[in-house]
A and B are shown apart, each in its own frame.
Chain A
Amino acid sequence: MSAILVPVVVLGGLGLLFGFSLGFASKAFAVETDPKADEIRKVLPGANCGACGYPGCDGCAVAIAEGNAPVSACIVGGSSVAEKIADIMGTDAGNVVREVATVLCQGDCSKAKNKYAYAGLRDCRAQNILAGGSKACSYGCLGCGTCVDVCDFDAIHIVNGVALVDKEKCVACQACIKVCPKGIIELVPYDNEVVVKCKSNDPGKVVRKNCSIGCIGCQICVKNCPENAFSFENNLARINYEKCTNCGICVGKCPTGAIFSGLEQLKENVQ
């Protein structure tokens, strides 16, 4: 009898001892969490992409619950998530403009000239170290696809030597924007079809020599825009997306095609 009883008592006793001490420890080391933060965390997408600027979705949820971040802090979730969070926080979501990353360069293999043939590591950051990359234009997309590698959402691809963002898939997490050594990827409102797809600050003559689709600084778009949405500095036209109505007049007037009206160009690419 004791052959069974002794081990049972010993093991049971040890189990109880450890159980109680763990129970005590869990009280002593209890971490208080905000119930609001837990609820918000459940609503967030959970991709932990860090686009909000906080370490993962947990950090973002805590910041929103504490009032340090707006209810629309999650860029990926967009307006639907913002509304749900606003419900939890008991505030109004407001109007959230959906933005997508856009590559401001169209200088693909057929349009932009190279100054040397690059045969090193397939990484834009590495190529950029070698005299600013192989493109003759020092502002253009190098096309090695470092942005493609960092995209968690399969939203950016290299098409004919230049990165192109898939607007439907992009969630504006800014991973590609942070990694691009040329800084040519920017957030643009989703509804905006008219974008100056060039970042070159070179004078028009140099741009023409290097690339057939760059902004040469002729300012035709600035003069023709009925909404005065254009500004012009450093040899480059810029659109104020709040004023732009997507009328497309500038797209037709632009002599080089540097102003990109999304849909038509994309259709051409597909064909």
Chain B
Amino acid sequence: MSATTATTTTTTTTTTTGAPVTGRLGDSPVRPDGIAKVQGSFAFSGDLSADGSLWGATLRSPHPYARIVSIDLSGAWAINGVEAVVTAEDVPGKPTYGLIDQDQPVFASEYVRYVGEPVAAVAANHPETCRRALAAIRVEYEVLEPLTDPERAADGTFPPIHPNGNVFRHQRIVRGDTEATGEVVVESDYEIGMQDQAFLGLEAALAIPDPGGEGVELYVATQWLHEDRGQIAACLDLPAEKVRLTLGGVGGAFGAREDISLQVHTCLLALRTGRPVRIAYSREESFLGHVHRHPARIWMRHHATRDGKIVKIEARIVMDGGAYASTSSAVLINAVTHMQGPYKCENAVVDGWAVRTNHLPCGAMRGFGVVQACFAHEGQMDRLAAACGLDPVEIRLRNAMETGDRLITGQVIENVAPVRECILETAALPLPDEPVGGHDGDPMRLPGGAGLTADRSHIRRGIGWGVAIKNLMYSEGFDDFSTARVTLRDGVASLKFATAEVGQGFVTLAGQIARSVLGVDDVVLEPIDTTVGSAGSTSASRQTWMSGGAVDGACRLVREQLFAHVGAQHGVDPLRLAIDGRDVVDTMGDLCVPVAQATAGLVFEDTFEHHHRPTEELDENGQGNCHTAFAFVAHRAVVDVDPELGLVKVVQIATAQDVGRALNPLSVIGQIEGGIAQGVGLAVMEEIVQIDGRVRNANFTDYLLPTFLDMPDVVATLIEHPDPMAPLGAKGVGEPPCISSTPAVVAAIRDAIGKDLTRTPVRPSDIVF
């Protein structure tokens, strides 16, 4: 049973004299899609269909690295019901795509570089026909020795497996006195395994061609409609406006939908056949078809004073990006620039590589490079604490970063930075009152759970800490703006934006913003598609800030129009007008006009683009104001461990998170609980196992996610200090919960068994042997 209690350290109260509008900012209204999702009537992208639609399917490489000698499609064409068979030769435009470097082929042409790489696709009248058609395609491969050791990619000892070489990016950070030393020196190697986003709604899309094949309409579960559109249009050699995207129902994303997967294939097959085509991945195909969290090896050394103050950090990071670039270079930058953690540090030497191998491509996943960095720096903080004779809380308090401190990139932290408060508020949360095994000795509460492997006497309890800093929004000069259009008509606000709702709840928040700013009860959400400007990606903890800012900005523009109209009608200076509940009121007089009445028969409309402040690229020494903003979080984990069998039960996670302002407290708690579930997963069970370049557990039988029995109780405090830089005072809250929860759990296991653990996920054999 997982229960969350939320408390707030600061409370914002609003005195309302007018009639209260429900579902405003600070409330936790029911999600517009919530009941449909719970009852099973919500249409996810896998539920899409159109009259006369065909099914599409993808032929994938069985080899991690091979040269394609020949492809014979005749067997597929010979099957009754097959309407299209396409390969690289049929891609009319750019043969490759990618978010940063376009190095990933729509279909492999000369080489396949990972198991699962698309080689061909078919469209047919039935999924079974598709299956037979794929089986009938004959591909002759010359199998090559795969590059599976990222170190060999980094050190240049393996021949290039791609014309762009085996290194996606190398970035060095050199700051301060590189010769500085401390009285206390601690160092270790760390390793982070490959985590899957494991969203429940599998990849699916429906493409409908325009008559004559001049364009295509795509319904797809994605994180960024406009970016998809640009890449699809380039590959199809169509003008962007001829590719129209509408968001299909998204069942989770966590970064895995930021890259192209089936988009180009589906559109190409639809254009080829002149008929609607739908593709829906299986779970196994999903594991092969999207990018994952980068596995990483990190060496780190801390120099500190005798009393535990950090003097210098040194780190070497190698991230395995797999076969294609995706966002590897940006993930690397996040890792190297966050290596100090949320701690003051003047001197640093950090070297990071993101490299190409014949493993599954890696890219965005919740935490985006910072998860890996945090696992290392938090392991180091505990070593430092032990070396200095301090406890884990004290070492972190002594080094806690504050507003005005500099990162090792030289960037000044200008945001609210309540690191100390996050740690202290977390420490103040009650430890679990239950003994090992629970109050009633329920074996389900013991490590091993239903397997009845342990008795109470076998179990040891441990406590561990993790604290994190996470950048918000995009970095390195990228202008990831967001657009919103608001129409106020007859007292009803209609909101139009392209913000991908992937489950995070922006559709709820957008309505809350409009109700608060415009004094309306009724908010209509228009379809989420590409007929309005880009919203940027639903990632990087950015949509509350960016699209929230866009909706807020558009609502304010419309409100100005409304005030101008009301002011002119009543001879009042519009500057004196305000929204109070459902009314427009004169703040210096008696005028009070209900918004519904003031807008009767009228239309006020405006569009707003929200841009964050510009950022810079890093220089060759890794110096520069590359990030937009930062959020902070602390986690304390309590675990029960069976040392003889290496089994773990995470009992409780306590957390205090810097949220700026909780615009929807229930949604914030949802993000905290969900992020912690993902962090616990990476700590004790979630890992894609690849042996010789082949995935061994591309299914939920062997890729294990935490169940209800594995999920700890969560106690949370929201640290609310509205950030002046944020449009609504609110920081993004999606990523921090999964970043330092992982090292906290691993630290708790170390504490329980008194053993060094430097790899996550921690496997039973790591504990036993």
Same complex: no
